[in-house]
Amino acid sequence: MAKLYFKFGAMGSSKTANALMTRFNYQEKGKKVWLIKPAIDNRDGETVLRSRVGLEANAQVIKSTDRILDICPIDDIDVIICDESQFLTPEQVDDLRLIVSEHDIPVLCFGLRSDFLTHLFPGSQRLFELADSITEIKSICRCGAKATVNARFDGEGNIQTSGEQVFIGGNESYESMCWSCYHKMIMEKGRR
């Protein structure tokens, strides 16, 4: 019986590397993988999935207006792997749930839980509501504690406490932190 999986973690927790290794494992067993990512994630190129450790592959781009049920090659795949799944719409997550349930195709989603203000992304929220299996991919803060927050910084290194939920960036804009270090930086900013 196929399942809908959500594997989440803070930035830098090797989510993309895990997605690409999972793809390799399926392909090594002769399975057809439909590798997808939301169009909004264009930092490595429109169709490229690239991990910080150097693994990469081309993926089909899913626009926010796409209905996954309408574009999914259901009869020609064995598994769906979605990276950056936090950027899916709730309706697209519903489509993935239907594909699992009605077509017995496993779907593995990799993504962030929350944004730089610790609010759930809509796609992640829906995955938490619908996934059969939820797994945290752990990473650490600079202090050594488990990182759970994706802190956003401006060009001068100042922590950000307002702004749009989505701002595409990498290590130059974000740092994964534990709650304590994040809160301490926020409080220090307020005292300035």
Asked whether 103 and 14 are in contact (CB, 8 A), the reply is no
Which residues, listed in sequence order, are joined to residue 175 by a DSSP beta bridge? 151
3-class SS string, 55-115: CEEECEEECCCCCHHHHCCHHHCCEEEECCHHHCCHHHHHHHHHHHHHHCCCEEEEECCEC
Place of tokens 């699992």: 100
Are 33 and 79 in contact by the 8 Å Cβ rule? The answer is yes
Residue 84 contacts residue 44 (beta carbons within 8 Å): no
Residues with active-site annotation: 84
The number of CA neighbours under 13 Å toward the Cβ of 19 is 36
